[in-house]
């Protein structure tokens, strides 16, 4: 009788293979122990506030798939669903609503930590970016630059001219450090300090003086109007004027700066909203006329910054300087 035998084959495992297996194991362990990152919390807050992955992605400079992936990873890390999909986008779940305030607190604490470290390092260096909603002369930026240079000689200042709405969005996305904006502030994480209440008038070229004296909805609708582009409170103000006075412009020209608006008015190309000082300058030079039938339209000018920056030494100095320049102490 022949006995059953089992054969086994053996193979030498090389050192390289051992190292590879150890690497694969450590990589897997690292994945299971990976902790949430600040950028994920920033994305969480952005999605919660925008209600849309695509809009949130623009805010945090990420693609829609990347935003979706970050939220999924965060949900896996936390073990709860943070958002429900709706026909309009996404909305926070009950658990998400409970956690979003904590996420905001963590982000604010991180920013305060950075500000504190900046103070401890002593001399302030780097770049500070300020958003401008209007021209430098009106915003008194030259005086601001002089004072900031005196306090922080090694700090580079960057000025960006943007519509007020864009300044608020870029500030919340941390692409700006502070900014001047017209109108109010709808965001709880942004601090706004009112500096003045400028008034606006409807202005046209002096050649239209007689026509504007006899203005009625029909004649005003026959003019071409300069209309501020999106993200501008001035656009909202002008649309309210149209609604209140039953004006339906035959044609509009979209503009994104007050300098362009002035040029259009001077050249007789359009009626437009102009700030009081600009309107009076045109009136006194004989180049413009005010449509008094449409009255005056007040707004607010604010300096804005993130509330989490309150301990940042540059922000503290900026606010003191701005208040002093605008006599708001």
pLDDT at 301: 96
Residues 311 and 175 in one domain: yes
pLDDT of residue 3: 44
19 inside domain: no
Task: Work out how many domains the chain is built from and give that number.
Answer: 3
Mean pLDDT, consecutive 10-residue stretches, the chain (329 aa), reads 42 44 42 68 88 87 89 90 88 90 83 67 75 94 92 88 91 92 88 95 94 88 90 89 93 89 93 94 93 92 92 88 90
Q: What is the distance between the alpha carbons of residues 324 and 329, in angstroms, rounded to a whole number?
A: 6
Per-residue confidence (pLDDT) for residue 7, from 0 to 100:
41
* 190 shares a domain with 306: yes
Q: Is residue 2, in this structure, part of any structural domain at all? A: no
What residue numbers bound the domain in which 105 lies?
A: 38-115
Classify burial at 274, counting beta carbons within 10 Å of its beta carbon; exposed 0-12, middle 13-18, buried 19 or more. Answer: buried
Q: Is residue 88 part of a domain?
A: yes
Is residue 211 included in any domain, yes or no?
A: yes
Give the per-residue pLDDT at 4: 45
Query: Do residue 204 and residue 193 come from a single domain?
Result: no
**pLDDT for res 88:** 84
Model pLDDT, residue 308? 85
What's the pLDDT score for residue 132?
A: 96
C-alpha closest to that of 132 among 96, 104, 105, 159: 159
pLDDT at 120: 58
Cβ atoms of residues 20 and 14 within 8 Å: no
Q: Does residue 44 sit in the same domain as residue 93?
A: yes
pTM of this prediction? 0.69
Q: What is the CATH number of the domain that holds 267?
A: 3.40.190.10
**Are residues 103 and 150 located together in one domain of the fold?**
no
Say yes or no: 270 and 288 in one domain. yes
Burial class, 169, CB count within 10 angstroms (exposed 0-12 / middle 13-18 / buried 19+): buried
- 131 with 208, same domain: the answer is no
Read off the DSSP letter of residue 292: G
Q: Give a yes or no: residue 137 inside a domain.
A: yes
Whether 206 and 256 map to the same domain: the answer is yes
70 and 142 belong to one structural domain? no
Residues 64 and 190 in one domain: no
Chosen domain end from 97, 115, 133? 115
User: What confidence score (pLDDT) does residue 14 get?
Assistant: 47
- Does one domain contain both 172 and 223? no
pLDDT, residue 116, reads 66
Domain assignment present for 247 = yes
- DSSP annotation of 175 reads S
Is residue 294 one of the residues assigned to a domain? yes
């Amino acid at each position: 009788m022949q006995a059953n035998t089992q054969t086994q084959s053996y193979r030498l495992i090389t050192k390289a293979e051992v190292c590879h297996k150890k690497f694969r194991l450590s990589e897997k362990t690292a994945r299971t122990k990976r902790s949430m990152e600040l950028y994920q919390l920033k994305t969480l807050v952005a999605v919660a506030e925008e209600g849309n992955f695509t809009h949130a992605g623009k805010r945090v400079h990420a693609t829609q798939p990347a935003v979706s992936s970050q939220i999924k990873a965060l949900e896996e890390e936390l073990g709860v669903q943070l958002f429900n999909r709706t026909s309009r986008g996404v909305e926070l779940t009950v658990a998400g609503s409970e956690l979003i305030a904590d996420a905001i607190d963590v982000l604010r604490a991180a920013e305060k930590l950075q500000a504190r470290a900046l103070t401890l390092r002593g001399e302030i260096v780097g770049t500070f970016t300020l958003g401008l909603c209007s021209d430098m002369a009106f915003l008194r930026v030259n005086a601001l630059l002089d004072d900031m240079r005196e306090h922080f000689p090694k700090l580079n200042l960057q000025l960006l001219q943007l519509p007020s709405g864009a300044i608020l969005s870029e500030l919340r996305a941390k692409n700006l450090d502070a900014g001047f904006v017209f109108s109010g502030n709808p965001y709880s994480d942004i601090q706004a300090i009112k500096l003045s209440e400028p008034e606006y008038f409807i202005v046209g070229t002096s050649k239209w003086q007689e026509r504007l004296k006899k203005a009625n909805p029909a004649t005003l609708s026959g003019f071409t109007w300069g209309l501020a582009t999106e993200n501008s409170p001035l656009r909202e103000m002008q649309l309210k004027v149209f609604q209140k006075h039953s004006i339906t412009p035959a044609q509009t020209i979209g503009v994104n700066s007050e300098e362009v608006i002035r040029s259009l008015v001077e050249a007789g190309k359009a009626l437009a909203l102009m700030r009081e000082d600009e309107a009076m300058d045109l009136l006194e030079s004989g180049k413009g006329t005010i449509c008094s039938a449409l009255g005056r339209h007040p707004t607010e000018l604010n300096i804005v910054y993130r509330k989490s920056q309150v301990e940042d030494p540059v922000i503290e100095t900026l606010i003191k300087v701005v208040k002093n320049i605008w006599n708001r102490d």
